[in-house]
Amino acid sequence: MKKQALITGATSGIGRATALRLAREGYAIIATGRRAERLEELRKEIEAAGGECRTLCFDVRDRLRVEEMLSPIERVDLLVNNAGLAAGLEHIDRGSTEDWDAMIDTNVKGLLYVTRVISPKMVSAGHGHIINLGSIAGTEAYENGAVYCASKHAVHALSQSMRADLLSSGIKVTEIRPGMVETEFSEVRFHGDKTRAAGVYRGVEPLTGDDIAEAIAWAAQLPAHMNVNDMVLMPAQQAGAFYTYRK
């Protein structure tokens, strides 16, 4: 029987790359996201390569929809809580409360809603692995990013607490905390401004979604007695939220 991996936010970036990478590892994929057309493209790509993929279209911010879509799933061996976003880059006195709601509802509450449905299935099975996508912003707060940083600080704390809560059930919990990764992340943060988004990566060779997916696949294949608690990944030109060498 194939292991099953559930990946949230699988329509682009790290989530999509992770779905493709884990499919190559032999996982049956359950890919979720808000964009049905992209999910369908992902399913076709995985199946064309000989893999298995099921798609579920919903927004993790909608608790009732999360419960409706995920409750019927009988087994999940690997949960990748990837769905997340940054919105806006302003000082706290000029920030958009709509942006704040989007970040908190997706990055924190959405992760919790999904985990609340899936983790009891793992507890019942006596095994499982939860991988949460955090960020270096989860330990290094920076100017103009107060609410995004707060949401990723929450993911960092939740990952640590989840690990303790689920320890006796044989469930691993890993947090992946990337630095600069070039995906749609910055375009979303700047509300579609591609020029401003491109400036984030000026002079730097950033990580890619494939790079993070490779790290996730590595952590997922370790023996049962080994767990990666926390993995921090950055481009070679980055040493933290405040230190980036641009050529």
Q: Which residues pair with 31 in a beta bridge?
A: 7, 55
**Token pair 């359950």 in the structure block, residue:** 30
For 246, the token pair is: 């641009």
For 71, the token pair is: 């409750």
The rounded distance, in Å, linking the Cα atoms of 110 and 114 is 6
Q: Which residues of 62-72 are buried (b: 16+ CB within 10 A; e: fewer)?
A: ebeebeebbee
**DSSP strands (E only) in the chain:** 4-7, 28-33, 52-57, 78-81, 128-133, 171-178, 230-233, 238-240, 243-244
The residues annotated with a catalytic role in the active site are: 148
φ, ψ for residue 228 (rounded to 5)?
-90, 110
Q: Which helix (H) or strand (E) holds 125?
A: helix 111-125
Q: Who's near 226: CB < 8 A, 6+ residues apart?
A: none
For 189, the token pair is: 């943060």
